[in-house]
Amino acid sequence: MRILEDELIERIRRRIPSSEGGALRLGIGHDAALIHAQGWDWVVTCDQFLEGAHFLADKHPPQSVGYKALIRAASDVVAMAARPRFFLLSLALPAERTGAWLNQMLSGMARASKSLGLRLAGGDTARSAGDGARIALNVMVLGEARRGDGIGRAGARPDDGIYVTGILGRAQLGLELILREMSGQRSYRKLLAPHYYPTLSLDFALWLGRHYLPSAMMDISDGLSTDLRRLCRASGVGARIYADQLPLVAVPGSLQGIPELDPLTLALHGGEDYGLLFTAPMRRVSRIPNIFGRTRITRIGEIVRGSGVKIVAAGGKVSSLIPSGWDHFAKR
């Protein structure tokens, strides 16, 4: 539904009262909603994690499913420079998944919740019935930010620097190995972790918010080409990025030559890295570190007037970057 999503959201927005204003500072179209409370802002988001669309029950370990379902939703809160505090879990399960599968899924989810200091506050369970019944997880995360610390995706301005955290394309490389049935090979096993158990840069995101450094921020969940375009659209600007500045995934020599495993392709279009994508005004650029704890920060380009994202190749050739990020498993 990736292609349809923007149109769908527009239809929903037109029909259901959803205007920003009053306590609702940021609503639809941001990673999470931002709600003013007394002195604090609450940041809420929900994300589905569906069998067949977001994971494959016969290929993904249940621990990874539970871990990622929570990380994915929490990432939207973290990307607004808010601290995830509580979550709700809605589960729809076919009967045959309520035993060992569920236990393992929950242990993966517990790992994610502990790593972020998140507490489960409630939820809902239902049976997923009928032929072809599938597993559906829905996670709602509630986070908090000091008033004014939360960061949306609409504030980027021309000349702002564009930054990403971490390495781009690592999660997609893992997924490609799994889909190619190569995940069992011992030498590739360590390449799977970024796909199974991605980590969030919570401390860095909070630090950025506390120092009011980013003009806009979001997470890279669907791939840089897709997510950077979203940031630009929300901000009413364009972007130029440089291929030779991207922090590319390292692809082992034995896998080189496979087009989908080209490091630049993986970095531009690969999803689920859950790194941060943010922009910073020129006057604050000197305060952005290259490394923060274990988080690597890389400047990859700058915001420009206009619209659309251009990529400058190593040789200087400029071309439009077509958003072709993660469409779940739609095209497979």
Q: What CA dihedral angle connects 309, 310, 311 and 316, to 10 degrees?
A: -160
> What residues numbered 96-135 form the site for a second copy, per CB under 8 A?
98, 102-103, 106-107, 109-110, 113-114, 118-134
Amino acid, res. 328: H
Number of Cα atoms under 13 Å in the Cβ half of residue 291: 2
Cα distances from 112 to residues 7, 94, 194, 198, 269, in angstroms, run 32, 24, 14, 10, 25
> What residues numbered 44-103 form the site for a second copy, per CB under 8 A?
44-48, 50, 52-54, 85-86, 88-93, 98, 102-103
User: Would you say 142 and 34 are in contact if contact means Cβ atoms under 8 Å apart?
Assistant: no
The single residue among 23, 250, 258, 291 that binds a second copy, judged by CB under 8 A, is 23
Q: Which is nearer to a second copy, 110 or 304 (CB)?
A: 110
Per-residue interface string for the shown chain with a second copy, residues 301-330, x marking contact by CB under 8 A? ---------------------------xxx
User: Would you say 284 and 213 are in contact if contact means Cβ atoms under 8 Å apart?
Assistant: yes
Q: Among 16-24, 176-184, 202-210, 240-248, which window interacts with a second copy (CB under 8 A)?
A: 16-24
Q: How far is the CB of 83 from a second copy (least distance, A)?
A: 12
Q: Which is nearer to a second copy, 1 or 250 (CB)?
A: 1
User: Would you say 154 and 136 are in contact if contact means Cβ atoms under 8 Å apart?
Assistant: no
Q: Among 23-31, 169-177, 179-187, 207-215, which window interacts with a second copy (CB under 8 A)?
A: 23-31
Residue 9, interface with a second copy (CB under 8 A)? yes
Residue with tokens 């999660």: 171
Total residues in contact with a second copy, by rule CB under 8 A? 76
Of residues 114, 220, 216, 211, the one with CA closest to residue 166? 220
Q: Which is nearer to a second copy, 16 or 318 (CB)?
A: 16
User: Would you say 304 and 158 are in contact if contact means Cβ atoms under 8 Å apart?
Assistant: yes
User: Would you say 59 and 72 are in contact if contact means Cβ atoms under 8 Å apart?
Assistant: no
Joined together, the tokens standing for residue 82 give 């808010």
With residue 170 as reference, give the H or E element that holds it: helix 170-179
The single residue among 33, 177, 251, 300 that binds a second copy, judged by CB under 8 A, is 33
Q: How far is the CB of 324 from a second copy (least distance, A)?
A: 17
Q: How far is the CB of 204 from a second copy (least distance, A)?
A: 23
Joined together, the tokens standing for residue 246 give 């991207």
Q: Among 21-29, 220-228, 270-278, 299-307, which window interacts with a second copy (CB under 8 A)?
A: 21-29
Summary count for the chain: helices (H), strands (E): 8, 14
Q: Which is nearer to a second copy, 36 or 296 (CB)?
A: 36
Q: How many angstroms from the chain centroid is the CA of residue 171?
A: 11
> What residues numbered 131-170 form the site for a second copy, per CB under 8 A?
131-134, 136, 138, 140, 142
Q: How far is the CB of 188 from a second copy (least distance, A)?
A: 28
Q: How far is the CB of 217 from a second copy (least distance, A)?
A: 16
- In this structure, the number of other CB atoms found within 10 A of the CB of residue 27 comes to 15
Q: Which is nearer to a second copy, 100 or 250 (CB)?
A: 100
